[in-house]
Structure 1
Amino acid sequence: MPAQDPKLISGNANLTLANAISRRMSMHRGMQVGLVDARVERFNDGEIFVEVFENVRGEDMFIIQPTSKPANDNLMELLIITDALRRSSAARITAVIPYFGYARQDRRTKARTPISSKLVANMMVTAGIERILTMDLHAAQIQGFFDIPVDNLYASPIFALDILHQFGGDMSDVMVVSPDVGGVARARELATRIGAPLAIVDKRREKAGEVAGMTVIGDVAGHKCLIVDDMCDTAGTLCKAAEVLMEAGATEVHAYTTHGVLSGPAVERVSASVLKTLVITDTIEAPAAARACANIRIVPTAPMFAQAILNIWNGTSVSSLFDTQTLVPIYEGLYPKGMWGR
């Protein structure tokens, strides 16, 4: 075990999650693990200023900062915090980025367009980040954009526990649905975990942000359909997919998405849709409207991130967290014990 304790520091993107991770780590270690005392603020012209009030020389530092909306401000906060720690002689700097912004710009789809996620990766490495811990990257190949270790956690084990709790362990009429062909691997992984069949909604786009048509591949009649995706942005595609599934004979439709971006009219669309529930995680701090919405539910990721940070600090396996039997004790207390082992 390393001599120095893990030290957490947070930007302003998701202080609620950072504090939750801190509390969980304190429970696991049996001693107080608090956030490093620092200030991250803006000058009148919008420039970001960081000051760390504690000694971090030789410390193993973990910066908790999703690069969600406003993406540019939160990204700059992350880079400037990193620079402050590096210049203060921190031993190692790990960026805990629950939601990795710019992940959708992972390839050139047209001429004369950037690969912005690669640019962001270069900026992080140049700033001094030595390891990345994130969750459900939009495209797995983004890990290859970094020349440093990248640990990509998955929300599907958490979703599997939640589904077993919500549906009482009876998977006979449950079907997992991928909202597009590109998400089949993610949906199949969850379907395998809960022992459910798989269907696909094939969508055609005429231009970005607009869906021209949808076709259901598979027989969803008489099933409770669970749409699985990595993010929900404006919720237009998600709500339309739910309508198509209901028209195809589904008894009810639920959605499980890792990152609740929830831009623009997303919350209103979900509230007015045929979706019975939309389950998101807390990788992005949910707006007040989402927390108040009757059919939006938030599941915590802090227990998984806390254990992953401790595993990195200890030099033990992070991939062990993908195993349900390993995850069950971490989430014990959040769900009734009667469901464990199903």
Structure 2
Amino acid sequence: MPAITEPKLISGNANLSLAKSIARRMSMHRGMSINLVEARIERFNDQEIFVEVYENVRGEDMYVIQPTSNPANDNLMELLIMVDALRRSSAARITAVIPYFGYARQDRRAKARTPISAKLVANLITQAGVDRVLTLDLHAAQIQGFFDIPVDNLYASPVFALDIEHHFKGRLDEVMVVSPDVGGVARARELAKRINAPLSIVDKRREKAGEVAEMTVIGNVEGKVCIIVDDICDTAGTLCKAAEVLMEQGAKEVHSYITHGVLSGPAVERVSKSVMKSLVITDSIEQGDKVQAAKNIRIVPTAPMFAQAILNIWGGMSVSSLFETETLTPIYEGLYPRG
């Protein structure tokens, strides 16, 4: 049943610029002004987080926009406390919009006596009072099953497909999609299918954690414009090495499309000095001046997709329709004109 009240957005400090962009897009769709709910989110001297919501939210359909990116613990705690404040203020429904879901890489027990932190975080979010989660490109699909509430997992591949068709127009026949490891083949295959491109795989073998010992390219990349596809770029070591291996195997150019630009430590410097012509990331994580200044790093917006997803959830409509390129094309009309 469609909601009676308008959807209301509130944002933490993790990615305020994305939250404002989502509000602007929703205002355009609704033909009326949708602003972020005014709130005070601050820290005491001992770094305890305090939240005060200034507007009445009783009976409202609330959407809390907060990726749990670096600093992951602070941003996660901020999300939980905001949800608690809204729940105690009698909000009718609370949807956590988490563009980047931190702790997602700890989704299973890789060895004895280790936690499954993604499940713990899912429990915390559910127990705080969240009714639904909206996220983007979860590192592992099974994380959706860690929640006992509905989870809508959006995909970046339809947006990436639009971007590739726009920026590689006229030479799509040269494009080859590359998975940087065996685990990411499904994600790479999905994008390759959308742009009708062949698929290659970089098989990497580690001698110990954090170090890649050997890389082997499965597939002929000679003379191809290679596009590496992955969900997370952290220190960019593996990504840059994969680009080098592809160039050594005869690739004409190497570009990368990564959903979440964690880009910690020496990542930006590595990408800037690498053989990659471009690294394309989404704005799921707010980036600093260093990334903005990097000549070969480009950011594509997710606000149009998130805005439409929120409106679909609010109106009781399908979110899976946003997985289709045909649905996203008009939403991204201004950024990627048709024809």
| TM range, smaller chain | over 0.9
Moved more, 201-210 or 187-196: 201-210
Q: In structure 1, list runs of 5 or more residues that go unmatched.
A: none
Q: Under a length normalisation based on structure 1, what TM-score does the superposition of the two structures give?
A: 0.98
SS in structure 2 of the partner of residue 93 of structure 1 = strand
SS in structure 2 of the partner of residue 249 of structure 1 = coil
The separation in 1 between residues aligned to 2:141 and 2:325, in whole angstroms, is 21
Q: How far 1:113 moved relative to its partner?
A: 0.2
> What code does the residue aligned with 2:206 have?
R
Aligned partner of 2:188 in structure 1 is 187
The separation in 2 between residues aligned to 1:65 and 1:83, in whole angstroms, is 14
Aligned partner of 1:120 in structure 2 is 121
Summarize the alignment of residues 168-207 of structure 1 with structure 2, pairs less than 5 Å apart: 168-207=169-208
Deviations 1:149-183 (A, max 9, x none): 00000000000000000011532110000000000
1:105·1:114 contact (CA, 8 Å) conserved in 2?
yes
1:7·1:60 contact (CA, 8 Å) conserved in 2?
yes
Q: Does 1:156 align with 2:170?
A: no
SS in structure 2 of the partner of residue 172 of structure 1 = helix
Aligned partner of 2:133 in structure 1 is 132
Aligned partner of 1:336 in structure 2 is 337
Q: How far 1:195 moved relative to its partner?
A: 0.3
Deviations 1:117-150 (A, max 9, x none): 0000000000000100000000000000001000
The separation in 1 between residues aligned to 2:208 and 2:293, in whole angstroms, is 33
The separation in 2 between residues aligned to 1:322 and 1:170, in whole angstroms, is 25
SS in structure 2 of the partner of residue 320 of structure 1 = helix
Aligned partner of 1:26 in structure 2 is 27
Q: Does 1:66 align with 2:64?
A: no
The separation in 2 between residues aligned to 1:56 and 1:208, in whole angstroms, is 47
SS in structure 2 of the partner of residue 264 of structure 1 = coil
SS in structure 2 of the partner of residue 337 of structure 1 = coil
Aligned partner of 2:45 in structure 1 is 44
Aligned partner of 1:141 in structure 2 is 142
Aligned partner of 1:77 in structure 2 is 78
SS in structure 1 of the partner of residue 172 of structure 2 = coil
Q: Does 1:14 align with 2:37?
A: no
Deviations 1:4-37 (A, max 9, x none): 1100000000000000000000000000010000
> What code does the residue aligned with 2:127 have?
T
SS in structure 2 of the partner of residue 257 of structure 1 = strand
1:136·1:230 contact (CA, 8 Å) conserved in 2?
yes
Moved more, 163-172 or 317-326: 163-172
> What code does the residue aligned with 1:39 have?
R
Q: Tell me which stretches of 4 or more aligned residues in structure 1 moved more than 3 Å.
A: none
The separation in 1 between residues aligned to 2:251 and 2:170, in whole angstroms, is 19
1:8·1:62 contact (CA, 8 Å) conserved in 2?
yes
SS in structure 2 of the partner of residue 269 of structure 1 = helix
> What code does the residue aligned with 2:180 have?
P
Q: How far 1:336 moved relative to its partner?
A: 2.8
Q: Does 1:107 align with 2:86?
A: no
The separation in 2 between residues aligned to 1:213 and 1:46, in whole angstroms, is 44
Q: Under a length normalisation based on structure 2, what TM-score does the superposition of the two structures give?
A: 0.99
Q: Does 1:95 align with 2:72?
A: no
1:164·1:170 contact (CA, 8 Å) conserved in 2?
no
> What code does the residue aligned with 2:184 have?
G
Q: Does 1:219 align with 2:220?
A: yes
> What code does the residue aligned with 2:239 have?
L
1:278·1:296 contact (CA, 8 Å) conserved in 2?
yes
